[in-house]
Structure 1
Amino acid sequence: MDASLVRRHVLLPVTATVCAVLLAVGCTGSSTPESSTRAVAPVADNDLQSDYQTVIRNVLPSVVQIEAGSGLGSGIVYDTKGHVVTNAHVVGAEKSFLVTAATGEQAMTAKLVSSFPQQDLAVIRLDKVPEGLKPARFGDSAKVEVGHIVLAMGSPLGLSSSVTQGIVSAVGRTVTDSPEAGGTGATLANMVQTSAAINPGNSGGALANLDSEVIGIPTLAATDPGMEGAPAPGIGFAAPASTVKSIADQIIKDGKVTDSGRAALGITARTVLDDNYQPAGVAVVEVAKGGAAEKAGLRAGDIVTKLGSVEITTITSLAEALASYSPGQRVGVTYLRGGESGRVEVTLGEI
């Protein structure tokens, strides 16, 4: 509710109707019997409950459980040809899978089409497409806003067809999918942050809005370093629908990702430590032949210390800095070579 709307109602005589409108911000001093306001509140509650149930009826049939070897995750039916999109860390190194629909039919077999760990996405395809297979409807990532109500659907801890609710807490987050937590180690850009509970097994499922549109694929939950890596409640991240559709469409069409949209320097590198054993930069181990770094004059042994104006201390910080750029953009790279500082302009390549 915007501020102007609140002000207009405050100037009106206080009635039961006005109290209902102002319920979210508080309505005091009313001469209307308290029972009048109580009669209105459940209607709004029931409307929201009905919205939740409608979304679940519309979206949950498109959410599946995926068994990949000894691992378990979720997926979303992408089209009527039996393609299912999920996370790369769900499929792992497996090539064959068992897929169970939310409606609980017998498990179906599926095979890997392709995996793209750099964005933690993958596509598998059912060996036999069942009748009535229902693809999900994907939303417009550009319309996702902080505060939107969302529902996460998947198989957390093996509990198939589970639903949790929350809001969009932030958009445009850059996070790293930690290998220690079962991720691919990739740095993921433009992620949707949500307060909906994301637990092991939710990965690859659906994050849906109240219009029954999938706006993201739950991918990872934040961990609390102060709690020995325990999950941080209410902080989860989902790959945005625009990224999911772009990667899935390429994999289905070409069998691989041909245009990631992700910038790269074209180097193999490692984190280096200073005399106090603190991260102090990224050492270039190898430059890709004909890649962005080689063309700019960087070479093995150089230590990258800054990308643009961002200090680079670790491989992760370099990946996170690159995530804010697009292929083809030019950026200054500051480096050390033989103890001497240098700087070059690099036209970024693509992952």
Structure 2
Amino acid sequence: MDVHVPRVLLPAACAAVLLASLAACSGSPERAEEPTRQAAQPAAVRQASDLESAYQKVIRDVLPSVVQIQGRNELGSGVVYDTRGHIVTNAHVVGDEKRFQVTTANSEDPLSATLVASYPQQDLAVVKLDRAPRGLRAATFADSANVQVGQIVLAMGSPLGLASSVTQGIVSATGRTVTEGRSGGTGATLGNMVQTSAAINPGNSGGALVNLDGQVVGVPTLAAVDPNLGSGAAPGIGFAIPSSMVKTIAGQIVKDGKVTDSGRAALNITGRTVVNDDYQPAGVAVVDVADGGAADKAGLRTGDVITGLGGTDITTITSLAEALAGARPGQRTTVTYSRDGRSTTVDVTLGEQ
């Protein structure tokens, strides 16, 4: 009986593994695996080809909406906001200038443009072409609430002056709060930022971070700096202002010529960082309180030292700005402060910046 067991079990086992390939069921495991490998290889090639085609389609669709902006001192990128010639970019790209030369992806001839308004608090600005060329293509801005970690994204812009460049990566994180340096930035604290692994270099600022549906999910604004590299950027860590915020700010500038509703929470104070006896940051001293503002209504006054907002310890003016960046005007929270050596916590309804 032992002699006949292999003859019965071998075909049965082979059939169980290779039901879809009975002709290959010869009792040789190595031969049985060959068709599977051969079938898998073309599928992988097809998937790679499909992804490559998707990249190329997105680039064809979106790159004509990404421009290079040249001022007297700064060079950056921008995104066509509408067919009337409005272009959204970073405030630190326009700086204090009013006139610019704009080069589109389809033309080497620069077009003149004028600043409409800049909003350094969110590091956004809008310029307008003096004459919008025929066929100017506006970008489509996504709802950034739908951005997911792991999404493939392409960064488009003019890094180091190389116009119409494209890099690729993924969304590494969402909801980041970052503070820009004043050297090369506006010093603004920006909330709800999109973090990406796509390469972001000088000149990318103001460009487009785009998903594979051809929608702008953010405006690349800055790259992280590795303290161990001095002023060198940390590879693969870039940040973009989310598209929903871009639409909110740019839309107001286009409509009203200025920002009328920032969406940024504030205590409506002027403050400065104070240090303790060990010269360590210990809170934010209130220098001035705006009449009728959030802090005024909560009972804060000049000389108070803010040490907490909600559940966050406040040690510096930057930490206060970062805590406020994650909040909304009208939101109720608490402020902890010291006055005459006594600590007090009060409820506050946040105002608007």
Normalised TM-score (structure 1): 0.90
1:346 pairs with 2:338: no
- Are 2:191 and 1:205 equivalent residues in the alignment? no
Cα distance, 1:68 vs structure 2: 1.8
Provide the rounded CA distance (Å) in 2 between the counterparts of 1:311 and 1:288. Answer: 23
Give the whole-Å Cα distance in 1 for the aligned partners of 2:77 and 2:223.
Answer: 15
Q: Flag the structure with larger Rg.
A: 2
Tell me the residue number matched to 1:122.
125
Moved more, 128-137 or 226-235: 226-235
* 1:137 shift after superposition: 1.0
AA partner of residue 278 (structure 1): Q
C-alpha distance in structure 1 between counterparts of 2:93 and 2:252, whole Å? 19
Separation in 2, partners of 1:29, 1:297: 82
Aligned pair in 2 of structure 1 residues 13, 74: CA closer, same or farther (>3 Å)?
farther
Contact 1:15–1:32 under 8 Å retained in 2: no
- CA deviation string 1:87-141 (max 9, x = no partner): 1111111111110001233101111111111111111100011111010111121
Counterpart in the other structure of 1:236:
238
Match of 2:64 among 61, 64, 82: 61
1:304 aligns with 2:306: yes
SS at match of 2:172: strand
- The partner residue of 2:97 within 85, 94, 97 is 94
TM-score scaled by length of structure 2? 0.90
Q: Which residue pairs with 1:25 in the alignment?
A: none
Match of 1:79 in 2: 82
Query: Is residue 282 of structure 1 aligned with residue 289 of structure 2?
Result: no
Superposition deviation, residue 13 in structure 1:
4.4
Structure 1 equivalent of residue 165 of structure 2? 162
Which residue in 1 is equivalent to 2:333? 331
Structure 1 residue 271: Cα displacement: 0.8
| Structure 1 residue aligned with 2:265 | 263
Which residue number in structure 1 is paired with residue 275 of structure 2? 273
For 1:276 and 1:336, locate their aligned partners in 2 and report how far apart those are by CA, in whole Å: 18
Which residue pairs with 1:5 in the alignment?
none
Q: Secondary structure at the match of 2:48?
A: helix
Counterpart residue identity of residue 40, structure 1: A
Q: Which amino acid aligns with 2:283?
A: G
State, as a whole percentage, how many aligned pairs show the same letter. 66
- Measure the CA separation in 2 of the matches of 1:59 and 1:47: 18
The letter of the residue matching 2:312 is V
1: CA distance, partners of 2:86 / 2:182: 26
Equivalent pair of 1:282/1:314 in contact (CA under 8 Å):
yes
Amino acid at match of 2:210: A
SS in 2 for 1:318: helix
Q: Following TM superposition, by how much is the alpha carbon of 1:39 offset from its aligned partner in structure 2, in angstroms?
A: 2.8
Aligned residue for 1:152, secondary structure, equals strand
How far 1:344 sits from its partner (Å)?
Answer: 2.0
Structure 2: which amino acid aligns with 1:223?
V
Task: Report the equivalent of 1:3.
Answer: none
Cα distance change of structure 1 residues 82 and 340 upon mapping to structure 2, 3 Å threshold: same
Q: Does 1:151 align with 2:147?
A: no
Shift of 1:29: 11
Q: How far, CA to CA, are the matches of 1:228 and 1:14 in structure 2?
A: 59
Structure 2 counterpart of 1:346, which letter? V
CA distance in 2, matches of 1:301, 1:174: 28
Q: SS of 1:251's equivalent?
A: helix
8 Å contact from structure 1 (residues 15, 30) kept in 2 = no
Which residue identity is paired with 2:198? Answer: A
> 1:133 maps to which residue?
136
Question: Please, which runs of 5 or more residues in structure 1 have no aligned partner?
Answer: 1-11, 18-27
Out of 71-80 and 218-227, give the one that drifted further. Answer: 218-227
Q: For residues 30 and 90 of structure 1, do their structure 2 counterparts lie closer, same or farther at Cα, with a shift above 3 Å needed?
A: farther
- Residue aligned with 2:279, SS: coil
Distance 2:220 2:309 in 1: 30
Query: What is the rounded CA distance, in whole Å, between the counterparts of 2:121 and 2:108 in structure 1?
Result: 33
SS of equivalent to 2:34: coil
**Any gaps of 5 or more consecutive residues in structure 2?**
1-15, 22-29
Pair 1:40 & 2:46 matched:
no
Which of 110, 113, 131 is the equivalent residue of 1:110? Answer: 113
**Secondary structure of the structure 2 residue equivalent to 1:238:** strand
**How many residues are matched?**
329
